[in-house]
Structure 1
Amino acid sequence: MTFQDQTPPVSPALPADFSSSLPPGSSIRHILLGYPSHIRQTIHLLHNLRYVETSQWSPLIEVPDNRLILRPAPDEMISMLVRRM
């Protein structure tokens, strides 16, 4: 019996300025939804990974009445990751 190598491929390091790798005029929106301490922790993690400066995030915003509506532009899609803290 033979086994395939299950080691995930090594991904290249993220560029210091991710926006420079996007086509002109395009953007991606990142939304962090969770407990404030977890949001801050994730913001600092992304900063430590040189993905984005902490100052580029908005202040924490309370979700009124626990309701949130996302309005995508035509042809936009969504992908979601839930990470247990």
Structure 2
Amino acid sequence: MPSTPQPVTSPTNQPDPQYENVRHIVFGTLTAIRNTINLLHKLNYAEPNDWSKPLPTGRPNEIMVILTKRIRVV
């Protein structure tokens, strides 16, 4: 009985097992969040433009921002 050829999967279609996405969510005032984003930038952790736009939380003077970062896992 002839074997049925298996579909070829591209490496780009499969997740890289050495990397995972993590999501950071920061809540606070606009000033506190800007300071945190600037600090993480100075520490070479994330670029300021990598963060989401400020999103309202429904609480007075509080917003949130989200950063999704791909990190290497060992």
TM-score (norm 2): 0.52
4+ aligned runs moved over 6 Å, structure 1: none
How far apart in 2 are the matches of 1:35 and 1:23?
Answer: 35
Higher relative contact order (CA 8 A, sep 6+): 2
Tell me how far 1:23 sits from its aligned partner: 2.3
Paired residues, number? 43
Gaps of 5+ in 2: 1-16, 60-74
Larger % of strand: which? Answer: 2
Determine the structure 2 residue equivalent to 1:23: 18
Structure ID, larger Rg:
2
TM-score (norm 1): 0.46
Task: Give the % identical residues.
Answer: 37
2:55 to 49, 57, 61: 61
Gaps of 5+ in 1: 1-21, 67-85
